[in-house]
């Protein structure tokens, strides 16, 4: 079997790539997608440990995280659409007004 450490390093890699995406990209949609990457990295960890400890709880947390990702995507994309309607941009650093 694959040692658990490998899962952890894979998860770490995905997490770090996601963080880089969130911190450096300008496009809000890509930022949101990077957040999905981060959540996904967490999922790998959870499922790997669920297997490791032969306990189904980890998988259930994965389900909750996916649920959360869905909710986040719906609301986040809703904000993007509402924003785009007003400002016609999807760049994060142009979203610098509290009110318009």
Partner 1 sequence: MSALLEFLKTYMWPLIFALVIVGVLPLLAGYVVLMERKVMADMQARLGPMRVGPHGLLQPIADALKLLIKEDIIPENADKLVFWFAPVISVTAAMLAYSALAIGPFFQIAELNIGLLFIVAVSSMGIFGIILGGWASNSHYSLLGALRSTAQMISYETAAGLALVGGVLLAGTLSTQKIVLAQHGGTWFVFVAPIGFFLYLVASIAETNRAPFDLPEAESELVAGYMTEYSGFRWAVYFLAEYANMIVVASIATTLFLGGWLRPFGSIAALDFIDFFPPLSFLGVAGYCLYRTPKQPEPIQSIVMALFGGLCFLLATAMALPFVPAFAASKPGLHGAFWFLLKVSLYIYSFMWIRFTFPRFRFDQLMKLGWYFMIPLSIVNVLGLGLYKVLRQLQWSRWPAFLLTTGGTLLVAIWLVWLAQRKVAVPAPVGEMTEAEG
Partner 2 sequence: MTPEQFSQIAFYFFAGLAVLGAIGTVTARNVVHSAIFLITSLLATAGIFLTLGAQFVFAVQIILYVGGIMVLFIFVIMLVNLDVALHQLQFNRQRWVAGLLTLVLASQLGFAIWFARGEGSLDIPAGRTGTLSPQNVEQFGLALFEKYALPFEIASVLLLVALIGAVVMTKKRA
Partner 3 sequence: MADTRISGFPGVEQTVLGADEIILNMGPQHPSTHGVLRVKLRLDGERIVDSECIIGYLHRGVEKIAEHRSYTQFAPYVDRMDYVAAVSNGLGYCEAVEKLLGAEAPMRAKVVRTILTELQRISSHLLWLGTHAIDIGALTPLFYCLREREEILKIFEKYCGARLTTHAFRIGGLQYDTYDGFEAETKRFCLDFVHRVDEYEQLLTENRIWIARTKGVGVLSAADAIDMGATGPVLRGSGVKWDIRKAMPYAAYDKYDFEIPIGKNGDTYDRYLVRMEEMRQSNRICLQAIEDIPAGPIMGKVGKVLKPPVGEVYHSIEAPKGELGYYIVSDGTTQPYRVRIRPPSFINLEALDKMIKGHLVADVVAIIGTLDIVLGEVDR
Q: Interface residues with partner 1 (CB under 8 A)? A: 67, 70-71, 73-74, 77-78, 81
Footprint (CB under 8 A) of partner 2, residues 29-58: 29-30, 32-34, 36-37, 40, 43-44, 47-48, 50-57
Helix (H, G, I), strand (E, B) or coil at 34: helix
**100 lies in the site for partner 3, by CB under 8 A:** no
What residue 35 binds from partner 1, partner 3, partner 2, none (CB within 5 to 8 A, per partner kind)? none
Which tokens belong to 89? 């941009």
Are the C-beta atoms of residues 49 and 4 closer than 8 Å to each other? yes
Q: How far apart are CA 62 and CA 14, in angstroms?
A: 16
The alpha carbon dihedral of 84, 86, 92, 98 has a sign of negative
**74 lies in the site for partner 3, by CB under 8 A:** no
Residues that bind partner 3 (CB under 8 A): 81, 84-85, 88
């Amino acid at each position: 079997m694959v040692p658990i450490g490998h899962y952890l390093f894979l998860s770490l890699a995905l997490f770090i790539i996601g963080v880089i995406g969130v911190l450096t990209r300008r496009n809000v949609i890509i930022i949101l997608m990077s957040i999905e990457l981060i959540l996904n990295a967490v999922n790998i960890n959870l499922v790997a440990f669920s297997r490791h400890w032969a306990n189904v709880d980890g998988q259930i947390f994965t389900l909750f995280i996916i649920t959360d990702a869905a909710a986040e995507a719906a609301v986040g994309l809703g904000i993007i659409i509402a924003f785009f309607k007003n400002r016609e941009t999807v760049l994060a650093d142009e979203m610098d007004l509290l009110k318009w």
